[in-house]
Structure 1
């Protein structure tokens, strides 16, 4: 069997653990098979950039952040049908049986678009997809994406540093978090770090209420802001400063964007275990002739079947745009 493995979209901790699991499982269970790494994500697939991988190639990478295969943003793959056609034809003509993918929302949609072409042409190349994104924006009503818990650990560490300085100087900090259109990373980081408020992307914010919160804090206040919220950190700061001045309150307000620090660094134990399990499961299913599908990042040992790719890309069936009401209620109760 001839297979390829691709890491797509934004990098995240756990991608290397997934690549390692795919390579070692395939070569140990099916020594006659070959596994090729697609270099630089969907761009590399379109341009035929492959590298034959051995077990030695993936030695010592399990904890590394990022991806040894490389990845890059390639929006043209979504907007130009001829590029998807080219990628599908390349996979078929080079005799690949399976493409293993780990990536975020864009990679799931790219996989589905590619799989449709393969099916329409009658080319027997199947695509198995695992969710890899710190944003947790991939069909997450069935689980959380690989990389999410690693980013939460990084967020907790950074927010604890910010809290130390905020408390020392009696400051208000407005902190931006990654997350794209999803509020999950910012909201969960706010829960574990004890932030006073988290501004979600589509929320109508009551800034008078935020000022009330800040005035009732003795020394420190942290407001977290989701990436997709339309107002900038400077705009939020200006609004709060104006409200506090009108109330006769002088408080120093600082802003911090911790976005790109959340993505890097080694993978958490949770993400390593789940990425390893998914890589193993996907290869075992491929050796049994599984059809294309999307695997949720459930706990190690969970053997739930993958779902069809057309369901994984259906926003009506996923829960990534906002936080469930019961989680919001819990966060409010913990203030």
Structure 2
């Protein structure tokens, strides 16, 4: 394989640029040509494709977002859109494609794989919801952004003796909420993977209040619902004054952490190695600090889970 492409798709995540850099430089090291596909699958269909050199990816390892930009593309979900994409790949002589993104991006990689085009999926999403890897690119940075916000909110909660309800991102996964809640000492964590009992939550707040506790932090994953709704229920049932903070897209920005830069570099380089070996239809990941790769179709068929022991630990430590 002498010519490959790379694209980023779906929501951006810190470390995507580091992954693009790794793909480009690893490929050039092995005397391959690399073409960047701008604006995700939409750019692929439109032919927004340019060759990348060593200097094209200089000074981007520390930058958040993605230099290749990203966009949603409904057209690519159709057979016509997929055939247009393959036509563009053939036009530029691209023999393999590295796709960096989340589950929606993986669905695109799966579609191309099923049409016989070699694709390697690299997990880039803050949600940490891609099976076949312990961590996705961007999760660690987003997590630290959330923890920084929780630390600041706790200062205000302490000063005003209030209950704060903090809504974090993650789509239908509770990883950000769980990890941030445990690291930030939250009193309650609401994740979409597990049902919660509002009466139990209220009881916990009241028990804390009775022993002299003046403030609390409750973390709500967006997959559970609105933090505003949770706040209103607490005020109505317990009578505690609450404040809501929705962190929003601030979680997706910022310079990637050292962990995300290293992870992205390792996964991006591994994707190129697989293409060099003539392998396609794979998803790269990291498990117990060891690089792994799995069939991308099988990966998409697996359910996302979170660590139940960690979830239970968060409850035990916040009694």
Between the aligned partners of 1:295 and 1:284, the Cα distance in structure 2 is 11
Helix, strand or coil at the partner of 2:44: helix
Between the aligned partners of 2:179 and 2:134, the Cα distance in structure 1 is 14
Between the aligned partners of 1:208 and 1:143, the Cα distance in structure 2 is 33
Between the aligned partners of 1:254 and 1:309, the Cα distance in structure 2 is 42
Q: Cα deviations across residues 101-136 of structure 1 (Å, max 9, x unaligned)?
A: 11001111110012112x2xxxxx411111011001
- Name the structure 2 match of 1:289: 278
- Name the structure 1 match of 2:238: 244
- Name the structure 1 match of 2:79: 81
Helix, strand or coil at the partner of 1:100: strand
Contact 1:274–1:298 (CA under 8 A) maintained in structure 2: no
Helix, strand or coil at the partner of 1:225: strand
Between the aligned partners of 1:228 and 1:75, the Cα distance in structure 2 is 23
TM-score, normalised relative to structure 2:
0.93
Contact 1:168–1:219 (CA under 8 A) maintained in structure 2: no
Q: Cα deviations across residues 195-239 of structure 1 (Å, max 9, x unaligned)?
A: 111112254432222222223151221111111123x22222221
Cα distance, 1:325 vs structure 2: 2.2
- Name the structure 2 match of 1:332: 315
- Name the structure 2 match of 1:23: 24
Cα distance, 1:84 vs structure 2: 1.3
TM-score, normalised relative to structure 1:
0.89
Contact 1:108–1:312 (CA under 8 A) maintained in structure 2: no
| Structure 1 unaligned regions, length at least 5 | 120-124, 246-250
- Name the structure 1 match of 2:129: 137
Alpha carbons of structure 1 residues 223 and 269: separation in structure 2 relative to 1, 3 Å? same
Cα distance, 1:329 vs structure 2: 2.0
- Name the structure 1 match of 2:149: 158
Q: CA RMSD in A?
A: 1.6
- The 5 A counterparts of 1:1-335 are 1-30=2-31, 33-78=32-77, 80-117=78-115, 119=116, 125-140=117-132, 142-201=133-192, 203-215=194-206, 216-217=208-209, 218-230=213-225, 232-245=226-239, 251-298=240-287, 302-304=290-292, 306-314=293-301, 317-318=302-303, 320=304, 322-335=305-318
| Structure 2 unaligned regions, length at least 5 | none
Between the aligned partners of 1:326 and 1:233, the Cα distance in structure 2 is 25
Contact 1:275–1:297 (CA under 8 A) maintained in structure 2: no
Between the aligned partners of 2:113 and 2:280, the Cα distance in structure 1 is 10
Tell me which stretches of 4 or more aligned residues in structure 1 moved more than 3 Å.
Answer: 297-300
Between the aligned partners of 1:299 and 1:65, the Cα distance in structure 2 is 26
Between the aligned partners of 1:42 and 1:294, the Cα distance in structure 2 is 18
Give aligned pairs, total.
Answer: 313
> More displaced, 93-102 or 8-17?
93-102
Cα distance, 1:72 vs structure 2: 1.4
Between the aligned partners of 2:294 and 2:194, the Cα distance in structure 1 is 31
